[in-house]
Each structure stands twice: as C-alpha cells, then as structure tokens.
Amino acid sequence: MSRSPTIDGARLELMLTELRLPAMKAMWPGIAAQSDKEGWPASRFLAALAEAEMADRSRRRIARHLAASGLPEGKTIGSFEFELVPMVSKAQVKALIAGDSWLKNGANLLLFGGQGAGKSHLAAAIGRGLVENGWRVLYTRTTDLVQRLQVARRDLMLESAIDKLDKYHLLILDDLAYVTKDQAETSVLFELIGTRYERRSMLITANQAFGEWGRVFPDKAMTLAAIDRLVHHATIIEMNVESYRARKARERKRAADRSGDKPRDGD
C-alpha cells in the first residue's frame, strides 16, 4: 500500500525539522507545487530548495551580526547627505562598503572633521553596509572600549579581550579624541592598535588631525608609533565642513524669519 501525500509531507517536515532546515520546511510546498506545474527536473527542484535555505541563512546571519555590531539605528548611506560634504565621494564610499580591497588586507579608514561634520553617521553607515555584505563589524565609542580593556587588564585578561575582537573584520572607534590623556587608558588603546596592525582593520573618527594627537597619547614616541601603524595602509577622509547641527539651526532661523515667526525656545 502506497503512502498518502499527506503522510509523506508530514514525514518530510519532521525530517527537515530534525536537519534544522527551517526555510526548506516553510517553502517546500510552494516550490513543489510550482515544480509539478512546470515539470521541473529533480535537480532544479532541489536547487530551488537549497537556494531558499541559503538565502534565509544569510538573512538570519546578517540580522545576528547587526544585533551584535552596536551600530546605531537609522545611520545609513541612504540617509547621509553627500551634497553637504562635497569632499566625500559616494562612489568611494560604495567601494569601501564592498570591503574586499581593504578589509582583506587589514587596512584602515580614518575620518577627520569638526563637531557635527557627519563623521559618526558616515562611519556607522559604512559599518552597516559592510555587515549587509557579509563582514563582521563592531561599533563603539572609543572611551567605552578603552574602559572595557582597562577592566580586562586589571583582571589579567587584556590579551584575551583583544583576541576576542579579532572576530570582527572592522572595529569602529568613534571619537578618538575623547580618550583622556591618561597612561593607563592610552596604553591599552596603543596595544589594541598594535595587535590589529596589518591583520584586522580599524575605522577611527577624530576631531583633531594628527598634529593634535599628542593630547591623546601622553608620550611622543607612542603618538608617532600609533600614527605610523594607523596610516601605513589607510584611507584618510577629511570632512572639513560646517557643523550639521549649526547649519540646521541657521536654516530654521531663516525659515522662521521668512514666515515672521520667532523660533521656539530650544530650537
């Protein structure tokens, strides 16, 4: 006696559950119906199921990596106003998001500019694009990561803590200049830079250009060594534009003046 299609289908779903193939389990009835209707060979049917499973795994992997990245919401290439930062090329940014030509070689990306120039937004947008392209990224304020590494050093776990950061192809350190000029803090930062040199990439945003980095690293030799390691294989983008917040405040004032209204308090 032959099995009924219902029994075969139920058994197939149990096997797909056991094999941990959730996309195949969810999509096989629809793909099977299309296959029967169009007379696909078995190889095409199996390929369609496998492609569905692979696409679903990719989506879930990207979602996990985004959740673990620390990247802020809403900071995307689509929402970055390139026209306000003319020295930043959209084509160059898209090439950076591909990642192949620099992340594989452990090269760095350095973004310089004053407060409100859009450095953090651009850094986060590049990071998000890289995650969506399959790379692993960690975004953190420099001070937060330095404090974590200091705790690890106190617990004699600094080497292990830095090694764990190796799983990230790109480490984004936002606001380097906010690290205080303290030997304990800057020494762990210097060790991190040295460990990742030519192995894993870093993206650093900073308000001050290199001439001001003596305020970050208390020792001149350490300052020069850190800069040397960071710039050896690096793309440097200087975002010397007016503060975004200041520009928006001025635009609101102009709009209020034209309408005859006074800006509200706090605007």
pLDDT tens digit sequence for 127-166? 999 999 999 999 999 989 999 999 999 999 999 999 999 9
For residue 36, give the 3-state DSSP assignment.
Answer: helix
Residue with tokens 């990230």: 168
Handedness of CA 118, 194, 64, 61 (dihedral sign): positive
Which letter, b or e, does each residue of 201-227 get, where b requires 16 or more Cβ atoms within 10 Å of its Cβ? bbbbbbeeebeebeebbeeeebbebbb
Report whether 239 contacts 111 (CB < 8 A): yes
pLDDT tens digit sequence for 243-265? 666 666 666 666 666 666 555 54
pLDDT tens digit sequence for 215-237? 667 677 887 888 899 888 999 99
The structure tokens listed for 138 are: 């960690």
> Any idea where the domains of the chain sit in the sequence?
5-69, 82-246
Q: Is the pLDDT of residue 51 over 90?
A: yes
pTM given for the model: 0.79
Cβ neighbourhood burial of 146 (10 Å; 0-12, 13-18, 19+): buried
Beta-ladder partners of 172: 139, 203
pLDDT on residue 45: 92
pLDDT on residue 5: 59
For residue 20, give the 3-state DSSP assignment.
Answer: coil
CATH fold for domain 82-246:
Rossmann fold (3.40.50)
What does the alpha-carbon distance between residue 188 and residue 194 come to, in Å, rounded to a whole number?
A: 10
Beta-ladder partners of 208: none
pLDDT on residue 220: 77
At position 154, the amino acid (one-letter code) is R
- The kind and range of the H/E element at 55 are helix 42-69
Q: Is the pLDDT of residue 32 over 80?
A: yes
What does the alpha-carbon distance between residue 48 and residue 16 come to, in Å, rounded to a whole number?
A: 15
What does the alpha-carbon distance between residue 267 and residue 265 come to, in Å, rounded to a whole number?
A: 6
